[in-house]
A = this chain, B = another copy of it.
Amino acid sequence: MKAAFVLVKCEQGRVAEVAKAIIEIDGVSEVHSVTGDHDLLVKLYAESYDAFGDLIPTQIQRVAGIRETSTMLAFRAFTGGS
């Protein structure tokens, strides 16, 4: 499985509503509210990087109340002793 992270800015006052909608999407494993320029940090998985090309615009970005997203694909997960 491949991992990606999406930083999300919500329309003001809709953070909890957006978070609850995103966590129900297939492939999404974590949704955190965070300090800084964005409201939410989302971690999601797919079988291939290509799959994120569909999953992010057609599933994540269509959630009502999202204003802006920034996507990072994770290439490699480092582990202790690696």
Residues of chain A touching chain B, judged by Cβ–Cβ distance below 8 Å, are 3, 5, 9, 12-13, 15-16, 19-20, 22-24, 30-39, 41, 48-50, 52-53, 57, 61-63, 66-80, 82
Contact = CB atoms under 8 A, between A and B. Distances in A.
Contact of A75 (B24, B53, B63, B66): B53
A78 B9 contact: no
B33 A36 contact: no
* Number of identical monomers bound together in the oligomeric complex: 8
A50 B1 CA distance: 12
Nearest to A18: B78
Contacts of A13: 57, 61-62
B34 A75 contact: yes
